[in-house]
Amino acid sequence: MSKIFEDKSVNYMTVDPDPVDYYYRNFSFFGLASFRLSSLEDRYLPVMSREGNIDSFIARGGDVGAFWGSSLKWGIFCDRISCETVVIAVSENIDIPTISGFRCMNAAQISDFAQSQYRIKDPSSSIALNFTRRFLANYPI
């Protein structure tokens, strides 16, 4: 998407753990990374893994976070805690499945997927139904 929207940079910020309470207080930096588009492919893994550090974005800070481009025409919200959900928002009509390979789901598919993920842990599906209700309240389809 950064190429489509001709971004100069791509940014990432952790939401969970908290960028101030966790990263700044413990490591003296905010949970933020910024990449020039020209070096994104080379720099992404070394920066996100912090050279293999256990408190890296990939190991710890990547649980809930957001990516966006310098154009501010797209954003991605990622949540590995709640059913490995990714919400992609774009300012134009872009065919996300075609350019990304992401499996895109409608409301019914999201509900079915969430229930399938929790069926063993929660046979009544209350966790999945609660997640779906909250998700669709925040991201109506």
Q: Could you give the number of structural domains in the chain?
A: 2
- Residues 19-35: tens digit of each pLDDT: 888 888 887 777 888 99
Mean pLDDT, rounded, for 87-114: 74
Which pLDDT value is given to residue 61? 58
Which pLDDT value is given to residue 115? 74
Q: Which contacts of 54-60 are long-range, i.e. CB under 8 A and separated by 24 or more positions?
A: 55/26, 55/27, 57/12, 57/14, 57/31, 57/33, 60/17
Q: Are residues 8 and 49 in the same domain?
A: yes
Q: Are residues 134 and 78 in the same domain?
A: no
CA distances (Å), origin 59, targets 11, 45, 48, 53: 18, 12, 9, 8
Residue 96 scores a pLDDT above 80: no
Q: Are residues 7 and 72 in the same domain?
A: yes
Q: Which of 11, 66, 80 is nearest to 40 (CA)?
A: 11
- Residues 32-71: tens digit of each pLDDT: 889 999 998 898 888 777 666 666 666 565 677 888 999 9
Whole-number Å distance between alpha carbons of 41 and 23:
24
Q: Are residues 90 and 27 in the same domain?
A: yes
Greater pLDDT, 76 or 124 = 76
Residue 12 scores a pLDDT above 80: yes
Q: Are residues 118 and 95 in the same domain?
A: no
- Domain containing 135 equals 105-141
